[in-house]
Amino acid sequence: MRGSRIQLIRLLSNLVSNARRHAETGVAVSITSVDGQAVVAVTDDEAGIEPADRERVFEWFVRL
């Protein structure tokens, strides 16, 4: 994703904040480089998004 520094900080902050809110025991954040691009992963110990709802995640203003 390309964006301004402030937008990228907000994106990462929201991802980590949401993971912390829903995690039972902890959150892990990893950043790696693949073909010269940063790959960020934010993971927690929750079950995740139900398979039936995964496409809806990308719709505007959807709450699951």
Number of domains making up the chain: 1
The 10s digit of each residue's pLDDT in 30-62 is: 999 999 888 999 888 887 788 888 889 889 988
Does some domain include residue 47? yes
Q: Which domain covers residue 25, as residue numbers?
A: 5-58
Does some domain include residue 9? yes
Sort strands 27-34 and 37-44 into parallel, antiparallel or unpaired. antiparallel
Does some domain include residue 63? no
Q: Are 19 and 47 in contact (CB under 8 A)?
A: no
Does some domain include residue 15? yes
Taking the whole predicted model, whether its pTM rises above 0.75 is answered as: no
Does some domain include residue 64? no
Q: Are 14 and 25 in contact (CB under 8 A)?
A: no
Instruction: State the Cα–Cα distance between residues 60 and 32, nearest whole angstrom.
Output: 28
Does some domain include residue 34? yes
